[in-house]
A and B are shown apart, each in its own frame.
Chain A
């Protein structure tokens, strides 16, 4: 089966079905036998692969808020065509993360407690609130796409009326919880390895999520392009690539400067378990793609951009996994490696995400409007209600 806009992946259906089935079975085991029997988590290592997955999912779903901010707050209207795919990615990403978080909880039946029992001193509490509120914002940003398809007009107008404060709120919430994932570790200076522990964790988490979020946008647009739907012309992609390069540069400077001031650079002089992990992360995810993106040739070539942004995403994954796992291990005495069940649940949920994405792309107007690049400015009066974030004129957000 070929879905317009997505490249065909041979054998995707059987693979996805297998992964989802295996994941469902693993989840069944996890709920029936408890965390101890099914995971490699322990008192010494209470957080593992799933927390890493959450970091990753949220960081990559940063594509949603960065593009919404760029297009609708900074009026970079030429990026409009990618807004809907980005919102869809973010929406699916957040739903999956919430799902994994609930599976990860020792008492999934108590997942709603943070909503009624507050502890303002807890970063975890702040994150729960941000996640919940931002997922609501995303669902409101996504709703018009569904309503449009169903031809239900009135709620679209209603959502449209609040779209500006909604977007601003969404961007603020993202800023908060993207950095708060870093703040989670501020309280373990005695546990997290000096190469990752720094009071600047929230700042570093935020900067890196911008690089990874925009990289995801580029990757997505390249994948769509392979499927025959080029949403962003090359110069626009090249501009995004410049922003990534800036974010990467800022990140590396802040990170190295911080290591320097904390005297942690000496951890890097010997090749250890930790320093190798650090080098891998910094070189793959930050230094090499930065060097690549400096070149005009890379920024304007599909293949070059593909490689560079993929590196950013992989390096980002390294960084989050290092913070969540490697930095907390006591090599070689106490290490953590996820159990098969942990891995299967994670893969299964990822497969659900990809399948949901292709299903939604197939049935909902994600790629409308079809024209790539800045559309001609003209007063369009169509029977179709104006979709919320596909504003044709700069001013229509406030006029309703």
Chain B
């Protein structure tokens, strides 16, 4: 399982049957139902735009914002692709909720020992060599599971085969540095609630430029402040000495600081 896994979601094939959501809820022991937005009880949700259905879920980003902001490393990107969460570490600062560009993590606000909830990319199933419950349940192949590179090739092939059917873009290929969920769409993604202004640079890079200056501030700043102190301190001593000289001219000059 060294290959990174991914899913290809072809919106032209989705019939809105909700099988993915039902399978997900069953797999994760969540109350059954049909939800439009992600919630504590919907790790995947089925949004509707005119006659198009759009699955939402954690994108399992390649350079995940949530992983980079978590102060205690409760979130981590695993080798196989899933972004995993460890509630034992989580302190509940909710920076991940604030920072995730896809608004994915949801918080157990009503609990006194709250946790984050989000799609797990069925990590435990993947470990057993199974595919995610949602992909397995999908009757039309709109959600397809596979190796990341192979799915990218497949997505490009579909666009090339029927260029009139799709907008020429694989959403997730390199948005915010690439994700594990690729979307193909017949209409521009902006019309389907996708944020397409986020660019290709992973969000964590925005913070790195500031954080990478920390060692410099410490070392250069330390030397600078030490220097300032030395200079001003010496000036004060010289002044004090000169003052004492005036008062007591008999003091031997070799005392000079």
Residues of B within 8 Å of A, CB-based: how many? 60
B92 touches A114 (CB 8 A): no
Interface residues of B (CB under 8 A from A): 65, 67-74, 89-95, 97-99, 101, 103, 105-114, 195, 197-198, 203-204, 206-211, 214, 217-218, 221-222, 225-226, 228-229, 232-233, 235-237, 239-240, 243, 257
**Measured between alpha carbons, how far is A104 from B206 in the docked complex, in Å?**
26
Residue of B whose beta carbon sits closest to that of A120: B211
26 A–B contacts from the bound complex (CB under 8 Å) = A34-B109, A36-B110, A42-B109, A43-B105, A105-B91, A106-B93, A106-B107, A110-B72, A110-B89, A111-B91, A113-B91, A117-B73, A117-B89, A118-B73, A119-B70, A119-B71, A121-B69, A122-B68, A124-B95, A183-B207, A190-B195, A377-B243, A393-B240, A394-B232, A394-B233, A395-B233
**Measured between alpha carbons, how far is A117 from B76 in the docked complex, in Å?**
13
Evaluate whether A73 and B72 lie within 8 angstroms (CB atoms) in the complex, with A113-B89, A121-B204, A121-B208 already known.
no
Residue of A whose beta carbon sits closest to that of B112: A34
**Measured between alpha carbons, how far is A393 from B97 in the docked complex, in Å?**
53
A397 at the interface (CB under 8 A from B): yes
A395 to B: closest C-beta gap in Å: 5
Using an 8 Å CB-CB cutoff, how does the interface string of A174-198 with B read, 1 for contact, 0 for none? 0110011001101111110000000
Tell me which residues from 161 to 212 in chain A have a Cβ below 8 Å from any Cβ of chain B: 164, 168-169, 171-172, 175-176, 179-180, 183-184, 186-191, 199, 202
Best-surrounded residue of B67, B72, B226 (most CB of chain A within 10 A): B72
Give me the 10 closest cross-chain CB pairs, A-B, nearest first: A106-B92, A394-B236, A36-B109, A75-B232, A46-B94, A125-B71, A124-B71, A36-B110, A46-B97, A117-B72
A128 at the interface (CB under 8 A from B): yes
B225 touches A168 (CB 8 A): yes
Kindly list chain B residues whose C-beta atoms are within 8 Å of the C-beta of A377. Answer: 240, 243
Kindly list chain B residues whose C-beta atoms are within 8 Å of the C-beta of A72. Answer: 229
Task: Specify which of A75, A104, A164, A188 is in contact with B236 (CB 8 Å cutoff).
Answer: A75
Residues of A within 8 Å of B, CB-based: how many? 64
A395 touches B71 (CB 8 A): no
Kindly list chain A residues whose C-beta atoms are within 8 Å of the C-beta of B257. Answer: 395
**Measured between alpha carbons, how far is A108 from B93 in the docked complex, in Å?**
9
